[in-house]
Structures are given as structure tokens and as C-alpha cells.
Amino acid sequence: MAKSLRHLGKPSRIPASPNEAVLDHVPNPHPDTNYVARFTAPEFTTLCPITGQPDFAHLVIDYVPNRWLVESKSLKLYLASFRNHGAFHEDCTVGIGKRLNVLLKPRWLRIGGYWYPRGGMPIDVFWQTGRLPAGVWLPDQGVAPYRGRG
């Protein structure tokens, strides 16, 4: 397993773009159990593809693993690779969810992109695959509707 990991335990640079980023996965130690794994990125940054101005979001990624878990260092580097990438909020949020879905083939996945306003209006984007497996406890994503996000 460790031989195929490209980032864990090694020096790594932030990729120049999401397309250049490599996401690693590791075996799920409990493939017979439905549970939720959550990653929260409260300082996600990308660029507006029109103005080049920075856009900021609070991302929450929840998934019910199947055979694979995303390796967290590679996920951090992948998310950081958006900081010089121009894309709309919807493209970033849904694209991240789809890429994780292809990599992990989870039983279920959702991503919430809670974007801070520019031009006076926040745009929140939500995407998920299918239905949550029965009996799985899923806490609220914990991000308040926009009122200064604080």
C-alpha cells in the first residue's frame, strides 16, 4: 500500500492546478461497516474565472466508504491546488464531489460548498450521490445559513 502512495510521508508541493493534483486512496479498515467520514475545509480558496478575484468557501465533504478511504494529505493538496484556478462555485463544488466519487466509489457521498459572498450574494452549492444507506447517522454539516458566516 505505502509504495503506491505519492504524498504520505514524503515532501510534497501544492499542485499548480486541480488537473495536475494526484489523489491517493487507502484501504478501508472496516469495509463491512457503514459509517460516515467527514472532511471540512473552512478556508477553501479559488479564483473567479472572470475577474481573477479570490473566492472563499467552507467545504464539507461527507462520505460512506466502501473499499477505499481518501488519503487526507493528498486531499489537502488537491483542495489547495484550486487557489490559482479559475472556476465558478458550482464547477468547483460539483467537480470535487465527482472526482472523489470516481476515485473512491463510496456507498454514498455529499459535498456542501458554502461560499462567502462577492457582489453581495453568497452562492451555496450541494451535490450528492444516491441515498444515504439505511441506519447511518449523519450529523448536520454545521454551517449556518449566511449571516456573516460567523
- The active-site residue, picked from 48, 91, 92, 124, is 48
Q: Considering Cα of 52, then 20, then 77, then 122, what sign does the dihedral take? A: positive
* Rounded-to-integer distance, Cα 40 and Cα 141, Å: 9
Distance, CA of 121 to CA of 139 (rounded, Å): 27
Active site residue 92: no
Cα–Cα distance, 99 to 76 (Å, whole number): 14
Whether 48 sits among the annotated catalytic residues: the reply is yes
Q: For CA atoms 89, 92, 93, 95, give the dihedral sign.
A: positive
Exactly one of 24, 55, 62, 92 is catalytic; name it: 55
| Residues with catalytic function | 48, 55
